[in-house]
Amino acid sequence: MATLKRTFHPVGHGAFYTERFYDNLGNNIANIVFDCGCFETAKAGVSPEAFQQRINDIITSCFNKGDKIDALFVSHFHQDHINGINKLMEHCDVKRIFIPKLTPQIVLEAYLGNAMHYEDIDTIEDFLHICQDKEKTTQIGEFNFDENVRFEVLDISTVKAYMDSPSIITLIENNWQFIPFNSKNKKGEIVEAIKLDERFADIWEDDETIDIDKLSTVIQDIGIEECKKIYQSVYGEKHNSYSMTLYSGVDCGERCCLPACLHILEEYTNKMCTINCLYTGDYEASDGFASLQKFYSYFWNNIGLIQVPHHGSEKNLNNGLYSLEKICIISAGETDKYGHPDDATLDVIWKNKCLPIIITENPKTKQQFIYNL
């Protein structure tokens, strides 16, 4: 009997989630990672080097040197979700990286967003250079609801993308499925703003491609404060215009639950079948909930475990995420100066008889779910 160990690691304000599959003899046969980073610019007294060391230490404690990572899914390109990826790739053998499609608006948001929030562009520059390896990286296009979704069963040792439509579904043994969703990006205004700024005139290779090295040079030349002005003029309070989500679970058409699923205390129902999980990164459910629910409609009623978007921020809140009982994982700093998770988010979770679990940088808050498949 195969086994899955799904772990939400204690990185604090960030995201590092792993799924490790084992055969009936206990041999590790597949490893999946969703996001890999931690950072908090508002944290007083903690240096960027300390955050970097935290994620590095967790990576090396989780994986042995040379372990195979079959798939790394990256929700978006902010520092607190990617600053561990260099270490992960150095320490492990990462076979495939799945990212949102690198449209001009996403590239610009990634650079300006990291300059705005973290006063850093080196991390995103390094990561996007990794993403230019087309043999290792698969870009997930924006989903078109008119396209047919294609299902195919794959061997347990293989994670493969089918890119003949803008959607992708990957499966392994026991009809396990990994289903990423890249929603429509709403901030094409950032491209318009940059094209009006003569300082960025030379960054374009063509209308759909940005020269990363030239963009880095321009940003360094104009400085962080100018980047902040440009970013805020377009994004305002909405700082997460894109974030790829990921469903990880069984084919609910055949079975929606396993006997080994966790059942909760008496005040909660036993409908919380945690085997089917939805990772959200920093998804803007406040505006994009309808699209998210429509895309995952086949699975929606059987998702019993969800990573709460954007560390529990009220700005990414939508009541519909919690309309059915489920366990809600929130990654946030122990003394998070952003106030995450927000009281409004926790109130909605509790009122809907869902169960919030906050995972901080304290190792004792690590959560692991183990399933016999």
- Counting residues of the chain whose pLDDT is more than 70, the rounded percentage is 82
Q: What is the pLDDT of residue 355?
A: 92
| pTM for this entry | 0.90
In the predicted structure, residue 161 carries a pLDDT above the cut 80: no
> What is the structure's pLDDT at 299?
83
Segment 104-131 shows an average pLDDT of 91
Q: Which of 115-124, 170-179, 227-236 has the lowest mean pLDDT?
A: 170-179
Q: Look at residue 14 in the predicted model and tell me its pLDDT.
A: 95
- Residue appearing with tokens 């699209």: 291
In single-letter form, the type of residue at position 55 comes to: I
* Residue, of 216 and 257, whose pLDDT is higher: 216
Phi, psi values for residue 306, rounded to 5°: -140, 140
Task: Output the six-digit token pair for 368.
Answer: 């692991």
Q: Is the peptide bond before 166 cis (omega within 30 degrees of 0)?
A: no
Evaluate if residue 152 carries a pLDDT over 50: no
Mean pLDDT of the chain: 83
Cα separation of 14 and 311, whole Å? 8
